[in-house]
Amino acid sequence: MNFKLVLFLIVACVSYSMKAQNPVFTHVFTADPSPHVWPDNSNKLWVYTSHDEPGSNNHYGMTGYHAFSTTDMVNWTDHGRILHLDNVDWAESHAWAMDAAYYRGQYYLIYCMKETGIGLFRTGIARSDVPQGPFTDLGYVKGVEFGQDPALFIDDDGIPYLFWGHDRKCFAAELNEDLMSIKPETYIDLTKQLTHVFEGPWVHKRKGKYYLTYPGLTPRRWPEKMFYAVADNPLGPYEFKGVFIDDFEGQSGTNHGGTVTYKGKDIMFYHSAWLSGGLSETRNVMADYLHYNKQGDIIPIVPSKEGLGNAKRNKTTLLLEAENGFSGGGELYNVIVDTWIKGYSGKGYVTNFDNPYDHVSILAQVAQPAKYRFIVSYASPDGESNHDILINSHAYREFKFPKSKAFTEIDFGVVSLKAGDNLVRIFKKDWQPSKGEFAIDYIKLVQVFEY
């Protein structure tokens, strides 16, 4: 091979990997994606996921969920942890697959966890008034037994339907208006209509037809492939159509996902184990365009590196709201959430750092040890304010936040995070009495892609 050809191939390979959009999230292990565009903003795509602990390689220790958003399908915001086992009184383990829904002006997370003392899956419902959460648990849906892998489909007429499935079975029912129980007379076992079904149903509607996609196992068994069936009504009967994501290199034992139409394009979100190196149960979200033929059949997807586009990826931002406190995995110690200073993001900010050790802790979950640009948004309308910042219990920085009437960002430069849970803690410094109000709105951790 001549030198110019070798050079061309190297440049081509490097620029190809620069543009690769799969895995979609490379800073955190995520699975079971649930993609949505909410009615209040058709410009924003949301993806809700379950979370794998780094190095876990099984699903038994899964504890929480994340929300992600984007407006360009290239640069993403991770809104951090939105619900955790610790926020759910009735559950003890297995924060497995979930879905999200917008229903009558509120956002819902529908998830499964094992009930304390019983160890059976229940389908939980949590609510938030904003899409990024955090979500507050409302209890579990009555009438659903073994409620693993729930998906909530709201039809065009506003009727909510719940689908769930586990261990080679799939069920569905219409929900009552408060979403807290099924209508028993509508309950149906769909298993026989869904050849090879194992778990993870998801329903979307296209041109008046209901498509039920699901992970299934053929007699050759693991890993799971994605299949689908089509019906004229949400509760069936469904006609089995076939496989549309077959086995692929680097997949995990499971597959699971959902579809969305965003900016006129149909997209399939699912998961693989590319980020953890394949042959692993520590998973990552993937996305590829979904196409149909003239008859409305899904054209099988071959997982691609390119994914949703060939634009260069610049950054992923972890946007972690201080006021989420315990719900987001952090802590508010002798501080409060307030909303007087305008211009905050999310639902408010944290203030009243009056005494030494008053602090806010904010959780950042990442997949691998890596460097992130660290930014804090604050306001200090009455004068400068002195604080200690700790990262994972290590003193990171003492900093005098300058007077600022409005919320403003301070860029602290690059910090190192470890794989797993990282706690960023902002303390009031020393014993001097507070000179006025000091407020923390959020922290940002920005993963910068270096090519």
Give the binding site for ligand FUB (CB under 6 A): 31-32, 50, 59, 96-97, 148-149, 199-200, 254, 256
Q: Measured from the CB of residue 354, what is the shortest distance to ligand FUB in angstroms?
A: 43
Residues in the chain: 451
Name the nearest CA neighbour of 361 among 328, 394, 397, 407: 328
Strand partners, 389: 397, 426
Pull the structure tokens for residue 122. Answer: 């229940």
Q: Measured from the CB of residue 140, what is the shortest distance to ligand FUB in angstroms?
A: 16
Please state, in angstroms and as integers, the Cα–Cα distance from residue 66 to each residue in 159, 298, 446, following that order. Answer: 27, 29, 16
Tell me whether residue 40 is exposed, middle or buried, using C-beta atoms within 10 angstroms of its C-beta: 0 to 12, 13 to 18, 19 or more: exposed
Q: 10 Å Cβ neighbour count for 277?
A: 9
Query: What is the enclosing helix (H) or strand (E) of 3?
Result: helix 3-19
Can you say whether residue 381 is alpha, beta or left, with left for phi > 0 and alpha for psi between -120 and 50 degrees? alpha
Q: Which is nearer to ligand FUB, 121 or 344 (CB)?
A: 121
Report yes or no: 305 and 16 within 8 Å, Cβ to Cβ. Answer: yes
Q: 10 Å Cβ neighbour count for 298?
A: 24
Q: Measured from the CB of residue 110, what is the shortest distance to ligand FUB in angstroms?
A: 12
Q: Which is nearer to ligand FUB, 16 or 222 (CB)?
A: 222
Q: Measured from the CB of residue 97, what is the shortest distance to ligand FUB in angstroms?
A: 3
Report the distance separating Cα 272 and Cα 31, nearest Å: 8
